[in-house]
Structure 1
Amino acid sequence: MSERLMANITAPPAGGQGSQRVMYARGAGAHGVFVTEHAMTAYTKACFLQTTGQQTPVLVRFSTVFHGKGSPEAVRDPRCFAVKLHTQEGRYDIIGSHIPVSVRETAKFQEVEQALRPSSDTNEQNPSRYWELLTQMPESVHMLTWLFGNEGTPVSYRQMNGHSVQACKWINAEGAEVYVKYMWKSKQGARYFTPDEMAAMQASDYSHATRDLYAAIENGEYPQWELHVQVMTLEAADRLPFDPLDPTKIWPEEQFPFIQVGTMTLNQNPINYFGEVEKAVFSAEAIVPGIESAGMPRREAGAVQTNDFAQAGERIRLMQGSDYDWLVHNLISDLQQVPHETQLRAVRSFCRADVPLGKQLAAGLGIDLEHEPEG
């Protein structure tokens, strides 16, 4: 998601309590505290990261992205992970997703958002509509390996990680700048539904994730997330074979290891849910001194597109056992609902990422690649 789009992803309803968000409508939230455990003075002058033991109040809102207010919480959908830190120097909002990558351009994300919304006639998602669009966006393949892996269906809000997706810039007291990406690592562990488990939960409880978060806090089982950051110098960014500000890309952990910064604990349920959580505004423009937007991608789109399939392929080849099997199963199950031409484009895109996966998808969809016209 681009920063300009993310600035408004959790904007409040325009009217009274009867109004609803169009996106990010199905969610839950709570209050808590972030404790800085490792001072980040070498990288940023942001006030809440200067001293070990500093405590900063937070409000967090989790939500599905594309499904509506009345949808089940057990769905295949990115989860928005929005954190509002009430610092001594003002509000700082970190807006991200449980999936670490997205699509590249604001306009394209808005098209994806429209395609993934329920159809106006059936009030259900239409696979033909969104696959028609996604198969014409080669950079979406990396995101699709996450969304159609079981990572696309988290068991609960407590048991999922959060990623900033978009990099930001940290500036220290001497004016030195670095690029940074955030990850909220769940101390409850990250767990995901299989399709059968997801269907069973949909049948039994439409609001399981909201109930789970509320009950855990009420019972004193306060959920926690460790905040980790990856730090990249501007010089290192110039040497990479891909654009580090491209939201379709992950920064290699072996080159840019995660540094633990602190721990967030959610320990207070809202008293007035609508007033405290649903009306909360989260904005990428809500920043504090020492933190800035990283700006737009550093390289022309055409130069980046040669790398559109590399990280997707690496991720696919690292999958083992049931994780890989479920990716294949989930993709075939969804693509079986779309026209042949769209299936063929999808198969060819996945072949460019990983030939064995592409061939498995073709076999599962009854496509003979050797006898299909070039396209």
Structure 2
Amino acid sequence: MNQEENVQGQQPTNGASNGHHAERNGNGQGSNTLTTRQGHPITDNQNVRTVGRRGPTTLENYQFLEKITHFDRERIPERVVHGRGAGAHGYFEAYGTVGDQPIAKYTRAKLFQQKGKQTPVFVRFSSVIHGGHSPETLRDPRGFATKFYTEDGNWDLVGNNLKVFFIRDAMKFPDLVHAFKPDPVTNRQDAERIFDFISNTPEAMHMITFLFSPWGIPANYRQMQGSGVNTYKWVNEDGHGVLVKYHWEPLQGIKNLTQPEAEKIQAKNFNHATQDLFDAIKSGNYPAWELCVQIMEDGEHPELDFDPLDDTKIWPMDQFPFLPVGKMVLNKNPENYFAEVEQAAFGTGVLVDGLDFSDDKMLQGRTFSYSDTQRYRIGTNYLQLPINAPKKQVATNQRDGQMTFRVDHAEGQNPHVNYEPSSMNGLKEAPKRGKDHTPHYDANLVRQKIEKTNDFQQAGERYRQHEPWERDDLISNLVSALAPAQKHIQDKMIELFTKCDPEYGQRVADGLREAAQHQSAATNNELKDEKAVEKAEELSQEARPY
């Protein structure tokens, strides 16, 4: 039966006629042609539209906006991703320098300028794919989101425990999450679906080499690294901008789990990381992290074999060293989990003066998506909730909406004036601090991949940097996950692993071959057992008197 016949022969699950799925469009394309929800055929589902191949994305990215806004609303009321979380309050203390340089050389952000200056923070740790009551021992990236309540308003540094990501273009984010989420039919996470996507997404090999090693299961939240993952900018008083990456380094040390270790913990406690964080703070064993940055001049950097705006890549530490800028300490547990942890809302676009966006495609896509999700998940006035509200005066001309309970106004402001400009004692624009950062673009508006992809080199380096026991766990986990997959998916993954490192690919291939032999032997034994039972029944029948 061909695909069209199969579709026509199926009964619609919702009782409505489904015959239109089998129709062909005006271009003679079959029913499997990808379209928007308006029915427009999609010719490029890989790249957002940018000003030049490295320029910023544009607001008229209708295909992307429609795709991501629908994705943002796929779960009610739990987060679409990062559903399981734990949190704590604390403070960030600035060093006043970046390396051996005064930090004002690179950024005018006030929270960094003065040595010893403390800024209140709230941190939410989370797992990404699984739901709100899932075990904290599952293999999954971990979220590491920090809200700084600065004197200039809030700054959210939203990242993960791992320094890279699966994809480099925000257009692919819903597809990635769909592949890792449970099958929409069986409601079970399916490794075949995951590797079907990954085998067609070579840029993910670096992340996969992290995720399926012990780095994919942090032992707890206290001994876990954090990373902003995206590339941001710092801007100084003169308006000069540099690219920057953020990294949290745990002062408690780093600890990860092998798969057997995780399973042993999960058998007794699926809340172990939340419990560990809460108990440590309660006992006065306050966890701390040092915030380090990597700094790079903006530009294409022809000396690098990758694009520095690519989130699947790590900036080499020997060329761009980690420079400490401050320390964070968590010293207070939440008093109400729902009010403080569940309703905490973060967004990559929440930046203060001196911090800015780069042209990182993932960053620009996330910046729209995160805040859009929070307005949908929590409500229009989610920023009036205490956990999300800045610890400074808020005065806007925005009003009302669902669940509003106060008017954001300044002392002495004319309550009749909720617009600007006004000569009747309304709100005024704030004075500028420093020069604007004004990057220049002279390029066509295009849909185009980053040119220097180099998908396999850093993945291979990561494989070789793993300790022997980490490599063993990585291969074991990959073989277990890939063994049930169709052979063409296995073969494609072996090809990609081999491009990363020949030994890497060979070990996965050998493991899959051995797993297939074991499965074949087990099947043969089952058949022999079945035949033995049948023979015994036959003999029993013959021995019975009539």
Per-residue displacement from partner, 1:230-270 (whole Å, max 9, x unpaired)? 01112583532210010001000000000011110000111
* Alignment partner of 1:136 is 2:200: yes
What amino acid is aligned across from residue 452 of structure 2 in structure 1?
Answer: V
Residues 64 and 80 in structure 1, CA contact (< 8 A), matched pair in contact too? yes
Note the residue ranges of structure 1 that are not aligned, 5 or more in a row: 368-375
Residues 158 and 213 in structure 1, CA contact (< 8 A), matched pair in contact too? yes
Residues 20 and 69 in structure 1, CA contact (< 8 A), matched pair in contact too? yes
* Alignment partner of 1:156 is 2:220: yes
Q: In the alignment, which residue of structure 1 is the partner of 2:520? A: none
Question: Residue 330 and residue 249 in structure 1: after superposition, are their counterparts in 2 closer, same or farther (change >3 A)?
Answer: same
Q: 1:359 aligns with which of 506, 509, 523?
A: 506
Note the residue ranges of structure 2 that are not aligned, 5 or more in a row: 1-47, 49-55, 58-63, 98-102, 362-440, 442-446, 515-546
* Alignment partner of 1:65 is 2:128: yes
Q: Secondary structure of 2:324's match?
A: strand
What amino acid is aligned across from residue 32 of structure 1 in structure 2?
Answer: G
What amino acid is aligned across from residue 185 of structure 1 in structure 2?
Answer: E
* Alignment partner of 1:91 is 2:149: no
Distance 1:196 1:179 in 2: 40
Per-residue displacement from partner, 1:319-353 (whole Å, max 9, x unpaired)? 23212211111111111121111101100011111
Q: Secondary structure of 2:261's match?
A: helix
Distance 1:266 1:237 in 2: 38
Distance 2:129 2:322 in 1: 30
CA displacement at 1:12 relative to structure 2: 11
Q: In the alignment, which residue of structure 2 is the partner of 1:348? A: 495
Structure having the higher strand fraction is 1
Residues 12 and 280 in structure 1, CA contact (< 8 A), matched pair in contact too? no
CA displacement at 1:109 relative to structure 2: 2.3
CA displacement at 1:38 relative to structure 2: 3.2
Q: In the alignment, which residue of structure 2 is the partner of 1:373? A: none
Q: 2:481 aligns with which of 334, 343, 350?
A: 334
CA displacement at 1:304 relative to structure 2: 2.2
What amino acid is aligned across from residue 31 of structure 1 in structure 2?
Answer: H
Q: In the alignment, which residue of structure 1 is the partner of 2:321? A: 257
Distance 2:299 2:180 in 1: 38
Q: In the alignment, which residue of structure 2 is the partner of 1:372? A: none
Distance 2:269 2:74 in 1: 26
Q: In the alignment, which residue of structure 2 is the partner of 1:318? A: 465
Q: In the alignment, which residue of structure 1 is the partner of 2:145? A: 82
Q: TM-score, normalised by structure 2?
A: 0.63
Distance 1:263 1:316 in 2: 30
CA displacement at 1:100 relative to structure 2: 0.8
Q: Secondary structure of 1:366's match?
A: helix
Per-residue displacement from partner, 1:4-37 (whole Å, max 9, x unpaired)? 99x99xx99997xxx3223111110011000001
CA displacement at 1:164 relative to structure 2: 0.9
CA displacement at 1:296 relative to structure 2: 3.1
Q: 2:113 aligns with which of 35, 50, 53?
A: 50
Q: Secondary structure of 1:301's match?
A: coil
Q: In the alignment, which residue of structure 2 is the partner of 1:197? A: 261
* Alignment partner of 1:308 is 2:308: no
Question: Residue 97 and residue 293 in structure 1: after superposition, are their counterparts in 2 closer, same or farther (change >3 A)?
Answer: same
Residues 38 and 260 in structure 1, CA contact (< 8 A), matched pair in contact too? no
* Alignment partner of 1:147 is 2:211: yes
Per-residue displacement from partner, 1:181-229 (whole Å, max 9, x unpaired)? 0110011111111111111111101111111111111111111000000
Instruction: Point out the more displaced range, 280-289 or 237-246.
Output: 237-246
Instruction: Point out the more displaced range, 278-287 or 38-47.
Output: 38-47
Residues 230 and 311 in structure 2, CA contact (< 8 A), matched pair in contact too? yes
The equivalences for 1:90-129 within 5 A come to: 90-102=153-165, 103-129=167-193
Distance 1:131 1:249 in 2: 20
Distance 2:271 2:186 in 1: 22
Higher relative contact order (CA 8 A, sep 6+): 1
Q: Secondary structure of 2:121's match?
A: strand
Distance 1:124 1:222 in 2: 38
Residues 300 and 307 in structure 2, CA contact (< 8 A), matched pair in contact too? no
Q: In the alignment, which residue of structure 2 is the partner of 1:240? A: 304
Instruction: Point out the more displaced range, 65-74 or 19-28.
Output: 19-28
Q: In the alignment, which residue of structure 2 is the partner of 1:168? A: 232
